[in-house]
Amino acid sequence: MASVPSEYVPAAVVSPEEVREHRRSYLGFERMVAFSALHIALALACLALAFIGHAPVVAFLLGVGGSLVTIAAFVIYGASHDA
């Protein structure tokens, strides 16, 4: 039979505050990963548009505007969903 590690804490002992803090931390990390993925996709799309599509000015404007909109959306979404 497998032994239980000495630092094992049953779920019934974990306080609700700890669960809330862990959930808030997890959701913050999830938002950060989603933002990173979207920003990388935006950057790659702008690079493709600039070099393959021969539209560097449009790609630059899309990149700057898209970055600002993405940051604003995540700030607004994060502020409205923090609880």
Q: Which domain holds residue 44?
A: 34-83
Q: Which residue is associated with the tokens 């505007």? A: 65
Q: Tell me, yes or no, whether 13 lies in a domain.
A: no
Q: Tell me, yes or no, whether 7 lies in a domain.
A: no
Q: Tell me, yes or no, whether 28 lies in a domain.
A: no
Using the predicted structure, report yes or no on whether residue 7 has a pLDDT greater than 80. Answer: no
Cα–Cα distances in Å, from 57 out to 21, 52, 63, 64? Answer: 44, 13, 10, 11
Q: Tell me, yes or no, whether 17 lies in a domain.
A: no
Q: Tell me, yes or no, whether 3 lies in a domain.
A: no
H or E element: which one contains 7?
none
Q: Tell me, yes or no, whether 42 lies in a domain.
A: yes
> Which pLDDT band holds residue 42 (cuts at 50, 70, 90)?
very high
Judged on CB neighbours under 10 Å (0-12, 13-18, 19+), 46 is buried
Torsion from C-alpha of 43, 48, 54, 58, nearest 10 degrees: -30
Domain count, the chain: 1
pLDDT reported for residue 65: 96
